[in-house]
Chain A
Amino acid sequence: MRSSVIVFPGSNCDRDIAVALQRMQFKNKMIWHKETSLPKSDLIVIPGGFSYGDYLRSGAIAGKSLIINEVIKAAKSGCLILGICNGFQILTETGMLKGTLLRNKNLKFINRDVNIRVMNNKTRFTSKYKLNQVLNLNIAHNEGNYYTDSNHLEQLKKDNLIAFKYSDSNGNTDDKFNPNGAIENIAGIFNDKKNILGMMPHPERMVDELISNSDGINLFSSLLD
Chain B
Amino acid sequence: MIALLKRDLVLAVRAGGGFGLGLSFFLIVIVLVPFGVGPEAEILTRIAPGIVWVAALLAALLSLDRIFALDFEDGSLPLLATSPLPMEGVTLIKGIAHWITTGLPLTLVAPVLGFLLHLEPSAFGWLLASLALGTPALSMIGTFGAALTVGVRRGGLLMSLLVLPLYVPTLIFGAEAVARGAAGLDGLTPLLMVAVITLASFALLPFAASAALKINLR
Partners in one complex: no
- Residue positions of B touching A, CB distance < 8 A: none
